[in-house]
A and B are shown apart, each in its own frame.
Chain A
Amino acid sequence: MSDYILKADSVAKNFGRRLIFRGINFEFSENGVYGISGPNGSGKSTLVKIIAGLSSPSEGKITHIHNNNEIISEKLHNYIGFVSPYLVLYEEFSAWENLEFFAHIRDVTFNKGKIETLLNDFLLYERRDDLVKTYSSGMKQRMKFIFALMHSPNLVILDEPTSNLDEEGKNTVYKIVEREGKENIVIVASNERSDLALCGETILLEKFKQ
């Protein structure tokens, strides 16, 4: 049993007249890795954005509960770690500066030890003082994982987590996802079989089109 519960009640999303999905219900109360799958355009990214509070559902409600208290939307960002291809970090700053800014803006302690461990895990320690704009797309993707995990979130949301990554990068991500899944709730939105193989339970979005 986790101290974090994520609930979806009859969640639906329309863009104008176009229905993306409707009638999504789930409750994740155990630590573990949960999957969201579906073909391109099925609304995987839309659903994870709704779960993270970045977008509003057209109908229904997402509820985040921590230690039996519902988390208000103003504070939700402190509980969530988010990785996605459309997430962009500040390219005019170095990786270290980015992480320092994020810690200060979140008003959490900048834990140097943890940051150094994460930078080592994702093979970015040697390049920590280089500007993010000099990074390759794979390095930027690995940097997003550090951004997502640096504040020890209770809910980790990974949208297409292995895009732009080589085999070594993918293996690192899988190890981290397995480790995080033991301590927290992890949601993986992907089409990749290898990504979904990590998930205990998977929501297939094609079923929520009618």
Chain B
Amino acid sequence: MKDLILRYAARLYYWKNLNNNIGKINSYMNSKAFALYLKDFRSELRTRYAVNSLAMFIIVAISVILFSIGNEKIPESLTGGLFWVVIFFSAMSGLARAFVSEEERGTSLTLQLIASPSTVFTGKLLFNLILVFLMNIVIAILYSALFEEFVIRSFALFLLTFVLSNIGLAVSSTIIAAIISKAGSKGTLYPVLSFPILLPLILTSVELTSNCMLGTTFDESKVLLAVILCYDVIMLTASYMLFDFIWKD
């Protein structure tokens, strides 16, 4: 009987907490940043500005690699590197849209008049995070299907690497997009400016992907994981601190 009461109390506590958490999620969903994200999402559905260019780039990049390899066998370490090359250049082709499209259409001023800089950055970051995750999931599925050598032996480690790297990629791409949207030659400046900023992230991610393919344990890769985690935290903090200055004239 005592066990039954305790179990019932535990379940009640669980549901109460769950309801509180749902309430928190709802209040977040109602927030200004989420409204801005929804605006961008619906705008993307209508204009297909980023999705089309990302999809085309992913298909073209993977096809070029497949054609250039032909029937040859490539080393596993090279497959992991090429995986991140496709991700880097795909990100360069579509993620700048978050701010560049606002600047090109002349709607930046409108955004400045309806939201604070932190709201704008959070909304745009949310949009880029979802776009990066969707893009990289598609790349990972295509890559696994088309390259026999791309075999992940430590799946949990790969998942963690994938999540942390995607967060870093989205944060860096968003702040770089904000910087270049104010510049004249936007198209060429984006990959040029992104390369040095994303280099530590890409190099660490390539190393970690190789470890995943070799089947190494978490303990052996924890230093590299800490590097990516630090990169994410530093980029996120620096971005929020810098954005005010970038956003206003």
Question: Per-residue CB proximity of B22-34 to A under 8 Å, as 1/0?
Answer: 0000000001100
Q: Please, which residue of chain A has its CB at the minimum distance from the CB of B245?
A: A56
A54, B109: Cα distance in complex, Å: 8
Which partner residue on chain B sits nearest A46 by CB separation?
B249
B1 within 8 A of A: no
Known: A54-B249, A56-B249, A105-B39. A89 touches B113 (CB 8 A): no
The distance in angstroms between the C-alpha atoms of A56 and B249, with both chains bound, is 7
Interface residue? B53 (CB, 8 A) = no
28 cross-chain CB contacts under 8 A: A53-B248, A54-B112, A54-B249, A56-B248, A74-B117, A77-B112, A77-B113, A77-B114, A86-B106, A87-B110, A87-B113, A88-B109, A88-B110, A89-B107, A90-B39, A90-B107, A91-B105, A92-B43, A93-B46, A97-B42, A105-B32, A105-B35, A105-B115, A105-B123, A106-B32, A106-B114, A106-B115, A147-B110
For the complex formed, measure the closest distance between the CB of A187 and the CB atoms of chain B, giving whole angstroms: 15
Expressed in whole angstroms, the minimum distance between the Cβ of B48 and any Cβ of chain A is 11
Q: Does B71 contact A (CB under 8 A)?
A: no
Decide if A189 is an interface residue (CB 8 Å cutoff). no
Instruction: Find chain A residues with CB under 8 A from B43 CB.
Output: 90, 92-93
**B contact residues around A92 at 8 Å (CB):** 43, 46-47
CA distance A92 to B105 in the complex (A): 11
Q: How far is the CB of B26 from chain A (nearest CB, A)?
A: 14
Q: How many angstroms between the C-alpha atoms of A55 and B114 in the bound complex?
A: 15
Complex Cα–Cα for A53 and B36 (A): 21
Q: Which residues of A contact B (CB under 8 A)?
A: 49, 52-56, 74-75, 77, 80, 82, 84, 86-93, 97, 101-102, 104-107, 147
Q: How many residues of B contact A (CB 8 A)?
A: 26
Chain B nearest CB: distance from A48 CB in Å?
Answer: 12
B116 near A: Cβ within 8 Å? Answer: yes
Partner of B114, one of A49, A52, A97, A102: A102
The complex places the Cα of A82 from the Cα of B110 at a distance, in Å, of 9
Tell me which residues across on chain B come within 8 A of A80, comparing CB atoms.
113
Q: How far is the CB of B8 from chain A (nearest CB, A)?
A: 40
Known: A104-B32, A105-B119. 18 other contacts (CB 8 A): A54-B113, A74-B116, A77-B113, A80-B113, A87-B109, A87-B110, A88-B106, A88-B107, A88-B109, A90-B107, A92-B43, A92-B46, A93-B43, A101-B38, A105-B39, A105-B123, A106-B32, A106-B114
Contact A89 B32 (CB under 8 A): no
Q: Which residues of A contact B118 (CB under 8 A)?
A: 74
With a cutoff of 8 Å between Cβ atoms, the chain B residues found around residue A88 in the complex are 105-107, 109-110
As a 0/1 sequence over residues 91 to 131 of chain B, the CB contacts with chain A under 8 angstroms (1 = contact) are 00000000000000111011011111111000100000000
